[in-house]
Chains A and B, each alone.
Chain A
Amino acid sequence: MNLNKLILKNQALRRGIIAIIAALLVWEILAHWRLWFGYSLPGIGLMPPPSAVLHLWGKVLLDGSYWLSWYASYSRVLLGFCLAMLLGIPFGLMLAVNRHLHALFFPIFEILRPIPPLAWVPASLIFWPTQEMSIVFVIFLGAFYAIVINVLGGARSIDIRYLRAAQSMGAGQWSLFWRVVLPATLPSIFTGAAVGMGITWEVVVAAEMIAVGGRVYGGGLGFFVWNSFVGGSTEQAIIGMLSIGIAGYLASSLIRYIGYRLMPWHTAA
């Protein structure tokens, strides 16, 4: 049983690796097409081959400013994301539990929600005292909406039988909230967190491109990409892109792992 699982996992891993290698090969061939075959494929423009990107990446890895970009983006994302969780979960639960608060806040929330976080960049640059705070704020917004909507939906769709069963067994409001409403909403909280985390990476990159002009250090991965492009190094821009992909993947994996630890029943069911 366990051995089977291990073999399956290995198989999946092997297939994943094969797919990545195949994709790199195709990319490599396409990038060299003109040189090797003497004519251009229609629709295929200039791009650096992966071998060149990887070669440069090897050098970039030794460069401290590259890692500072990672650090800058990650700390912004985590700060904005944690704030969004901290405020979004109670806010969503509150809206779900209390009809009056829902009537009061939901319309405002729904009007603000369609505004893309990036549209907030100019206003928040003016409003917040530092550039850093405005970027974190915009990231926060990106994750906040996703978290609130999911928590609200999850808490509202709790099966009434759970609430009735708990109340019949004598649960008070306190126990009902902590031992029924909250665990029943946990899967939705994690759905919101996963979606929100995805949005934070979209937002941080764009915000850094717009807002972190002129700084070499601490610009973040978004700035790294933009700066490489302006500096004429497409290879380095691609390194930045792939780094963002890896960073986002690591962040989502972390959330999945925490979700898995907090909800052992969820994987069982």
Chain B
Amino acid sequence: MNSAQAGGSLSIRNVSKIYDPEGANIKALHDCSIDIAAGEICMILGPSGCGKTTLLNAVAGFHGISSGEIRLDGTLLCNTAKPQAQQGPDRMVVFQNGALFPWKTLLNNVAYGPIVQQRLSPKEARAKALDMLGEAGLADVAHKYPGEVSSGMARRAEIVRALINDPKILLLDEPYRAMDALTKAIMHENLLRIYDLKPVTIFFITHDLEEAIFLGQRVVIMTTRPATTKEIIEIDLPYPRDHRVLSSEAFRLLVTQVKASVHAEAKKAFAAGEKERA
């Protein structure tokens, strides 16, 4: 429903990734194809350790792919010949357990990107950072260190830190993983509100299927390792969504549908019993 002016369409074509430390030959991704429209919220759902993060890391440029092709707005990020994408502020990552710099206040964390990119002077960057933190309801804690605020606030600040760089796509790697259900619900509504203010393509990895349905316009269900796209489910619940959606009939039908598909994979993943790969 929202479409970003700045673009941000992501095309993942036949991507495979084989980890080969000392000939171990672990196939993490197999022939994975996903197309994400500009401004879409696309949820990648799969059991823990299935290879979702591998895909995200490939898009972000943290490591290479073995074959296939990834394009952002038609521009090549990586393919078989150039396996590793260049990292850049057009693809901002929000990490699993949070990666705010503990030695910087929330304000200076947020201002860091524009300063190192020399897009803004330090003074302008801090002013803008304060504005954006205010929009996210974090004005009061802007001058605190990450260790002094709750994990929910830290995660919100981290999303602000990503957004200040005007990314085309936001890559979220199970950002609310360790949170209790109530905090999670607040974080979800907050994310959708931020998204309304500033539509950006969202590539959101999760193993929480209710989270996937609540937030996403589409849910991509991944198989367990090697990960590949198993099924794509359109979520046609109207936005703006709030917590009441969770108790609607339509929501429950979707949960049933998604659960059926993902449960088989979860069982396989459990049987494989492999330790999660970061």
Contact = CB atoms under 8 A, between A and B. Distances in A.
Nearest to A264: B145
Contact of A169 (B147, B148, B165): B165
B113 A180 contact: no
A265 B102 CA distance: 7
A175 B88 contact: no
A179 B148 contact: no
Interface string A180-194: 100110100000000
B7 interface: no
Nearest to A176: B116
B103 A263 contact: yes
Interface stretch (B13-21, B91-99, B191-199, B243-251): B91-99
A269 B147 contact: yes
B95 A165 contact: yes
Contacts of A132: none
Contact of A268 (B60, B93, B113, B148): B148
Contacts of A186: 103
B89 interface: yes
A228 B88 CA distance: 68
Interface string B124-146: 00000000000000000000111
A172 interface: yes
14 contacts: A164-B62, A164-B99, A165-B93, A165-B99, A166-B101, A167-B87, A168-B60, A168-B89, A171-B112, A180-B101, A183-B103, A184-B103, A186-B103, A268-B145
Which 5 pairs show the lowest CB-CB distances between chains A and B?
A269-B147, A161-B99, A169-B113, A183-B103, A170-B117
Given A166-B101, A268-B147, 9 more contacts: A164-B95, A165-B101, A168-B89, A168-B93, A170-B116, A171-B116, A175-B116, A183-B104, A265-B103
